[in-house]
């Protein structure tokens, strides 16, 4: 290069690149399906998450390095081609080929780029929010088998548009059934890929099949906001994508069918989180040097969703949703870390809760807390320890400092009227043994912190000053 490039100059770099069309479900790959007469057909599609876009085109393959992508695809006339964005025009070429050119994409991460070429057909509808939604399927499937997915997708997309008050930014949302997919689905922006059973639903399908399909659809559409519009800075904060989307999917499910109550079905996430956390325990937030599929596990999804639900319960529905809207609006087309979410949610609360301080404990520790409550006549003793199995590497002597959320009844009559007074979150280490004692006196409970018995003598004073309870003495009434 003869001359220096001026600062902030825009340059065009052309690179000749030969990629590999694989068969293992990663990168740009082929998958096979069969017609009714047993003839084989192929779909070429992509799976770039977490770091396989580099297998299809030269790029800096990191989530923080976002760009606008332009795409042209040459295909045979009998095929269709798809990209994240709508097609602008098609130009016939020699040898029965067609050149498709697409709109330039919004600013997005490389792992969200997607394209597909195959002998497929589609069925479309316009959602109430004006998005053109199309379900694409191979020619062996009947058109009516995509009606359920098309209806669910449209309702859920419209619901999230209203709920988040951040409009879905693309003119299209395509969903395509892929013969072989390494995951249940992938949230590529504007072109979601699915395993066929989650998108092609026969009319006589049972309740369970429809519920599982709607769950996956709701999860992937939630990702259009959590992961696509706002993206984690690096893979050690993957839970910001997967955990939050796993929580939001239940809101979307309930919007699609109000018989699918969020609270009823959320128990499956709780059970999944507990199972994963005591058999293969890991912190929700931990360093990731080289991203691979091992980071997509039950802790990331289920424990992440459970923590989001817990925070919603702490803040209340209104403050929680206000914080979520702020988080999305302030970070559109950008990258975030966990503290950005905690800050947005903290700012939405009138109670002055510092979620960054509180949640750092939940994010950084393995296992989940087992709270044991023992009643001895008029006394209630509460203790806390990590829930572990015999073969787990966590010791029972390992301190766990996750907060306890206490609801204390001030007056029995008020309790009967369902009015309670809440003590805010506070940290309590199980290594102190008996932590809290509630002594019932007539109708008014007396709450005493007994950390000083097994710990330092200043624990109670420290608790008071840190949590700013000037109206309370060491014994809370």
For residue 131, give the CATH number of its domain.
3.30.2010.30
Number of domains in the chain: 2
Return the closest-CA partner of residue 250 out of 285, 221, 288.
221
Residue 175 in 3-state DSSP? Answer: strand
Is 181 assigned a ligand-binding role in the annotation?
A: no
Mean pLDDT of 71-76: 98
Residue 421 has pLDDT above 70, yes or no: no
Return the higher-pLDDT residue of 97 and 399. 97
In a domain, 89, yes or no: yes
51: its two tokens: 């770091």
Select from 177, 195, 224 the last residue of a domain.
224
Return the closest-CA partner of residue 253 out of 202, 297, 207, 289.
207
pLDDT band at 459 (very low <50, low <70, confident <90, very high): very low
Query: Can the peptide bond before residue 50 be classed as cis, meaning omega within 30 degrees of 0?
Result: yes
Full-model pTM: 0.82
In a domain, 273, yes or no: no
Question: For the chain, what is the mean pLDDT?
Answer: 83
112: its two tokens: 């969200």
Residue 209 has pLDDT above 70, yes or no: yes
In a domain, 455, yes or no: yes
137-168 CB burial, b ≥16 within 10 A, e <16? bbeebeeebbebbbebbbbbbbbbbebbebeb
pLDDT band at 392 (very low <50, low <70, confident <90, very high): low
Return the closest-CA partner of residue 106 out of 222, 23, 191.
191
pLDDT band at 395 (very low <50, low <70, confident <90, very high): low
pLDDT band at 332 (very low <50, low <70, confident <90, very high): very high
Residues 137, 33 contacting (CB under 8 angstroms): no
Identify each DSSP E strand in 337-378 by its residue range. Answer: 369-376
Helices (H), 53-96: none
**pLDDT for 360:** 83
End-to-end CA distance of the chain, in Å? 77
Options 220, 276, 385, 460, the catalytic residue: 220
Residues 172, 129 contacting (CB under 8 angstroms): no
In a domain, 44, yes or no: yes
Select from 224, 252, 272 the last residue of a domain.
224
Select from 193, 224, 255 the last residue of a domain.
224
Residue 458 has pLDDT above 90, yes or no: no
Q: Which domain holds residue 420?
A: 369-477
Is 89 assigned a ligand-binding role in the annotation?
A: no
Rounded to whole angstroms, how far apart are CA atoms 471 and 256? 47
Is 477 assigned a ligand-binding role in the annotation?
A: no
**pLDDT for 297:** 87
Q: Assess whether 276 carries a catalytic annotation.
A: no
In a domain, 353, yes or no: no
In a domain, 200, yes or no: yes
Tally Cβ neighbours within 10 Å of residue 215: 21
In a domain, 9, yes or no: no
Q: What residues contact residue 165 under an 8 Å CB cut-off, 6+ apart? A: 325, 329
In a domain, 127, yes or no: yes
**pLDDT for 37:** 87
Residue indicated by tokens 């990168």: 27
């Amino acid at each position: 290069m003869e001359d220096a490039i001026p600062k902030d100059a825009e340059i065009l770099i052309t690179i000749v690149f030969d990629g590999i069309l694989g068969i293992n479900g990663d990168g740009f790959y082929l998958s096979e399906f069969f017609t009714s007469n047993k003839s084989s057909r192929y779909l070429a599609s992509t799976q770039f998450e977490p770091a396989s876009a580099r297998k299809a085109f030269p790029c800096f393959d990191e989530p923080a390095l976002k760009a606008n992508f332009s795409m042209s695809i040459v295909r045979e006339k009998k095929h269709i081609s798809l990209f994240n964005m709508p097609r602008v025009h098609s130009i016939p070429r020699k040898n029965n080929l067609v050149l498709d050119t697409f709109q330039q994409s919004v600013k997005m991460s490389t792992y969200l780029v997607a394209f597909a070429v195959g002998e497929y057909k589609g069925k479309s509808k316009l959602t109430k929010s004006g998005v053109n939604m199309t379900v694409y399927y191979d020619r062996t499937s009947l058109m009516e088998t995509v009606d359920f997915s098309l209806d669910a997708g449209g309702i859920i997309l419209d619901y999230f548009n209203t709920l988040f008050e951040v409009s879905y930014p693309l003119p299209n949302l395509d969903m395509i059934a892929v013969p072989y997919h390494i995951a249940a689905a992938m949230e590529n922006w504007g072109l979601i890929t699915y395993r066929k059973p989650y998108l092609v639903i026969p009319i006589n399908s049972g309740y369970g099949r429809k519920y599982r399909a709607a769950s996956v659809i709701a999860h992937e559409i939630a990702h259009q906001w959590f992961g696509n519009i706002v993206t984690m800075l690096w893979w050690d904060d993957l839970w910001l994508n997967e955990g939050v989307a796993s929580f939001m999917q239940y809101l979307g499910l309930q919007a699609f069918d109000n018989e699918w109550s969020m609270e009823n079905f959320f128990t499956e996430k709780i059970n999944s989180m507990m199972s994963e956390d005591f058999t293969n325990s890991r912190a929700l937030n931990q360093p990731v040097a080289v991203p691979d599929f091992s980071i997509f596990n039950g802790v990331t999804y289920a424990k992440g969703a459970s923590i989001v639900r817990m925070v919603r319960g702490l803040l209340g529905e209104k403050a929680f949703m206000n914080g979520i809207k702020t988080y999305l609006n302030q970070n559109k087309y950008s990258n975030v870390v966990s503290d950005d979410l905690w800050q947005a949610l903290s700012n939405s609360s009138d109670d002055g809760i510092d979620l960054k301080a509180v949640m750092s404990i939940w994010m950084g520790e393995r296992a989940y807390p087992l709270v044991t409550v023992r009643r001895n006549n008029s006394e209630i003793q509460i203790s806390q320890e990590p829930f572990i199995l015999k073969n787990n590497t966590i010791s029972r002597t390992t301190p766990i400092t996750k907060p306890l959320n206490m609801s204390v009844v001030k007056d029995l009559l008020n309790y009967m009227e369902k009015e309670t007074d809440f003590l805010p979150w506070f940290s309590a280490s199980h290594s102190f043994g008996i932590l809290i004692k509630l002594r019932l006196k007539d109708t008014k409970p007396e709450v005493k912190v007994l950390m000083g018995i097994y710990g330092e003598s200043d624990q109670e004073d420290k608790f008071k000053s840190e949590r700013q309870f000037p109206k309370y003495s060491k014994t809370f009434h």
